[in-house]
Amino acid sequence: MKKLLSSAAVLGAMSTPAVAADVSANGGFVTEYVFRGIPQTDGEAAAQVGLDIEQSGLYIGSWASTVNGADDAPDGLEVDLYGGYGGQIGEFSYGAGATWYQYTEDFDDDYLEINLSGSWSFLTLDVALGRYSNFDGPTLDYQFYSVTADYHGFYGLVGTFGNDFDGEYFEAGYGNTLTVDDIDLFDYTMSVIYSNDDLLGGDDDTFLILALTKTFRVSGN
């Protein structure tokens, strides 16, 4: 995913002696980083790391990935800060939060967005309402919507942009955990993504991606 809460308030709630927060870290590798149908590494692999803190549905976290610019564009890092709340009512799960996307080396300018989600059974709806700083140009507002269907590790997704952004993409794949002798080694996902020409600002394209991720529990139950 990634997500406006007061960090101090959240950390204060998480540090209550009676209940310890869940803290986890993750690291991974992806053969190409494609975010919402848009390539971020110009066909190169990416290394990614993250840290998450969760307590009673409240969460804050940070996630980072290497990024690569095309031609003479700069390489750098994407660093995301996010926070929010997720809960469940019966079989319906919901979430609300905010994400701040930042980039080093002028790879891109900042994005700030509100994130909403809801899921029931095998269907999940994600909504992002965002604003793009756009360097010295006019600030751009955008909307993003995606619907995901999953079944026993297999999934399909349709994503579309609106307002000042435009374009659609389609994604399908399979994800699971590689386990040997009852030991979980790492999570893996194999996916294919098709992005149309409106989204890429040129010809449409198809991406085949393998992602490997390992999550480590730092503290908590």
Contact 96, 83 (CB under 8 A): no
The whole-number pLDDT of residue 220 equals 79
Beta strands in the chain (DSSP E): 22-30, 34-35, 38-39, 46-55, 58-67, 76-89, 92-103, 111-120, 123-132, 140-151, 154-163, 168-180, 183-195, 205-219
Confidence (pTM): 0.89
Q: Residue type for 132, please?
A: Y
The whole-number pLDDT of residue 1 equals 34
Domain span holding position 134: 7-15+24-219
Does residue 86 form part of some domain?
A: yes
Does residue 94 form part of some domain?
A: yes
**Which DSSP symbol is given to 137?**
S
**Which DSSP symbol is given to 37?**
T
Whose structure tokens read 């149309």?
196
From residue 4, how far is each of 96, 98, 105 by CA, in Å?
A: 9, 5, 26
Quick: pLDDT tens for 117-163: 999 999 999 999 999 999 999 999 999 999 999 999 999 999 999 99
Whose structure tokens read 């730092």?
218
Q: For residue 209, what is the domain's CATH number?
A: 2.40.160.40
Does residue 108 form part of some domain?
A: yes
The whole-number pLDDT of residue 19 equals 59
Beta-carbon neighbour count of residue 4 at 10 Å?
11
Nearest Cα residue to 126 out of 99, 89, 105, 107: 99
Please tell me the distance from the alpha carbon of residue 64 to that of residue 76, in angstroms, as a whole number: 10
Contact 38, 32 (CB under 8 A): no
* Structural domain count of the chain: 1
Does residue 203 form part of some domain?
A: yes
**Can you give the pLDDT of all 221 residues of the chain as single tens digits?**
333 333 333 334 344 444 579 999 999 999 999 999 999 999 999 999 999 999 999 999 999 999 998 877 789 999 999 999 999 999 999 999 999 999 999 999 999 999 999 999 999 999 999 999 999 999 999 999 999 999 999 999 999 999 999 999 999 999 999 999 999 999 999 999 999 999 999 999 999 999 999 999 999 77
